[in-house]
Structure 1
Amino acid sequence: MSNQNTVFYQKSKAVFVDFHGDEMTSDGGVVLLEKIEKKFGYINEISKAYIDSRNQSLIHHKAVDLFKQRIFGLVLGYQDCNDVNYLKNDPVISSILNGSLASQPTLSRFEMSVDRKVIYSLCESFVSHYINSLRGRKKIILDFDGTDDKTHGHQQLALFNGYYGHHMYHQLFVHDGETGQIVLPVLRPGNSHSNRWFVAILKRLVKKIRSHYPEIEIVIRADAGFSCAPFYKLANECNLKYTIGIASNSILKAKAEKVQSAVRHIFEDGSEKHQHFFNFQYQAQTWEQEQNCIAKVEWTGKGLNTRFVISNMDEASVRDIYFGFYVKRGESSENRIKEVKNMCFADRLSNHFFWPNFFRLILSSMAYEIFRLIKKEISQTKHEWAKKWQVDTIRLCLLKIGGTIKSTVRRVYYSFSKAFPQQKLFLELLQ
């Protein structure tokens, strides 16, 4: 090869490579993130609850800037503090974040600085942010669901859970069942039962919500892990509607035995799927009063599947309660947990101490909220295909844009690739 920069040939053409081009970024979508933040002020609002104990005369990066850098990094796909090493020369990200990025040690100290008081303050801010969004609504649905975060080191309170079969943290999420908004993320020790702190948290939530909206109807939806006597007592005292799963036991099985036998006799020779619903009154020994129990006996073609839920809702039929309401928690809660856990990196709780890991869960939940706000903006456009995007698709198709920056005395120009396929949608969101 006559030229050392020649790397290979395409027929008769030599292919050259060098690093003499302009400074570029592959994360140009950070401009959209800044636009979203300026419109809603979400990060600025939550970060006010952070109790900054640093000497203010010696710091270079304010707390809100550290929040923004960490959350924008999570949104763009950078999971850890040391990922700043890949971004420190990025011209667009540096420009958006006030000209400079905090170093990895600064970000690590930021995460390690939190204690119980800071976490409680941030959780209060999360709930206040949700309550501020309820104006004009007459009814809300609160979805409670837990998920395991398998641990691989010696993190504090990462304990063995017999149900999941490994050492873990047990995360709890409260979602709005209509909007998907995270009302509150909670990190619990690994050996926690699903309903640990559930009633205490719900009691505080109801009190705070009713203090602002006394007439609002609150509906609780959760799986069988959250069914317990204190919950039904609280629901009765606070006039809550609910549909909540209940684990099968010998009494419930006896109630469903005749229906199971009939369904098996009629449909066992066929392959068609069939569901049969019926309800009855049921009271466990620890409950104060009877509850309406709904049973679903389903023939799947491969065998019987029987499920039970407890509900005090006044729907047209028990089928409507189950299929029209209860199973929708799969989309409104379970799929949203997949997004915050797998796509916003809520499973990267690798600090040694418990409270910094709780803080990481909060940061991932805030990153999810930024994506939810982007989804909300997309829903107001006419780009129908984009309305179905999940978090990882938004990151790949909307935020990963190649571009350059040019700055003058009065203006800053962000110039993106003309090959970017989502130009129209991106410009609509910016405008």
Structure 2
Amino acid sequence: MLEVRIIVRGDSGFCRQRLLRGCERYEVGYVIGVARNTRLHNAVAAWEDELKVTFAETGLKQRSIHEFRYAADSWNRERRLITRLEFGAQGPNPRFVVTHLDLPADALYDHLYCLRGEAENRIKETQLDLFGTRASCHNFLANALRLMFAALAYTLMQRLREIALAGTDLARATAATIRVKRLKIGASVVRNTRRIRILLASHHPLRETFLTAARVLAT
């Protein structure tokens, strides 16, 4: 039997008592942002004062991660809260997340929660680079099909990055960059009874990348 661990990761808009209790009841992991308030600011004030003193002495932006127990008024019990504190020229900049995962605080914040932003970047890539927002049809199913096409296009782009473009200049390129530099290339198509030949410009700056990708995909 395949066992899959589900972890819910979201910003403070998802920090609701009903969601937290549901995750705990069904053994679903969660790491969710918590909106700042006066109680939280008071709880981390001593740590922020230490960062403020160090910043005044060094002139360098200071950062630290701590944890403590906390319960909002709407919560039924205390929960583990992780705080990421920063102090720089603009003053303090605290962030808070609630979780019940048994991981070190710094690893949980830096390597799990912060990757939420990377997931949002991939959603934006699908929407902006692969036209995932084109849902102007009057029919719901037609718009759903358009969204599925955009999701499929992103999946193909991701596989192209991982398989054909690994080790090239486009290995970490966005879908828009790949589409313009790798796919949207002017070419001459020559056909005869036996084959179709695509002739690319000999001076194309990414011709070696194109050739590398074509060879990988051909194997």
Give the TM-score category using the shorter length: 0.7 to 0.9
The aligned residue for residue 321 of structure 1 is 108
> 1:390: which partner in 2?
174
Confirm or deny: 8 A CA contact 2:55 2:88 kept in the other structure: no
Q: Measure the CA separation in 1 of the matches of 2:91 and 2:168.
A: 40
Query: What do the CA deviations read for 1:50-98 (whole angstroms, capped 9, x no partner)?
Result: xxxxxxxxxxxxxxxxxxxxxxxxxxxxxxxxxxxxxxxxxxxxxxxxx
**Alignment of 1:334 onto 2:120:** yes
Partner SS for 2:25: helix
Q: Deviations over 1:136-179 (max 9, x none)?
A: xxxxxxxxxxxxxxxxxxxxxxxxxxxxxxxxxxxxxxxxxxxx
Q: CA deviation at 1:260?
A: 2.3
Q: CA RMSD in A?
A: 2.4
Structure 1 unaligned segments of length 5 or more: list them: 1-211
User: 1:377 Cα shift?
Assistant: 1.6
One of 229, 247, 272 as aligned partner of 2:60: 272
Show the 5 A alignment for 1:10-409.
213=2, 215-268=3-56, 270-315=58-103, 317-331=104-118, 333-352=119-138, 356-378=142-164, 381=166, 383-401=167-185, 402-408=187-193
Partner-residue secondary structure (3-state), 2:189? strand
* 1:415 and 2:198 correspond: yes
Q: Are the aligned partners of 1:268 and 1:301 in contact in 2 as well (CA < 8 Å)? A: no
Structure 1 residues 266, 350: CA separation in 2 closer, same or farther (over 3 Å shift)?
Answer: same
* TM-score (norm: length of structure 1): 0.45
* Corresponding residue number in structure 2 for 1:86: none
Quick one: distance in 2 between partners of 1:328 and 1:270? 30
| Contact 1:378–1:386, Cα closer than 8 Å, also in 2 | no
SS in 2 for 1:372: helix
Structure 2 counterpart of 1:399, which letter? L
The offset of 1:352, in angstroms, is 4.6
Check whether the contact 1:264–1:299 (CA below 8 A) recurs between aligned residues: yes
Distance 1:283 1:386 in 2: 47
Cα distance, 1:310–1:384 mapped onto 2, change above 3 Å? same
Same amino acid, percent of matched pairs: 27
Q: Residue type matched to 1:277 in 2?
A: I
Contact kept, 8 Å, 1:282 with 1:290, in 2: the verdict is yes
Would the aligned equivalents of 1:244 and 1:309 in 2 still touch at CA under 8 Å? Answer: yes
Report which of the two structures shows the higher radius of gyration computed on alpha carbons: 1
Q: Classify the secondary structure of the residue corresponding to 2:93.
A: strand
Write out per-residue CA displacement over residues 310-362 of structure 1, whole angstroms, 9 at most, x where no aligned residue: 122222x312211122212222x022122111101123333355554444333
Letter of the aligned partner of 1:417 in structure 2?
L
Q: Is the 8 A contact 1:279 1:295 kept in 2?
A: yes
For 2:109 and 2:77, how far apart are their aligned partners in 1? 22
Shift of 1:289: 3.0
Native 8 Å contact 1:398 1:426 kept in 2:
no
CA distance in 1, matches of 2:138, 2:58: 55
More RCO (CA 8 Å, sep 6+): 1
Report the 3-state secondary structure (helix = DSSP H, G, I; strand = E; otherwise coil) of the residue aligned with 1:288.
coil
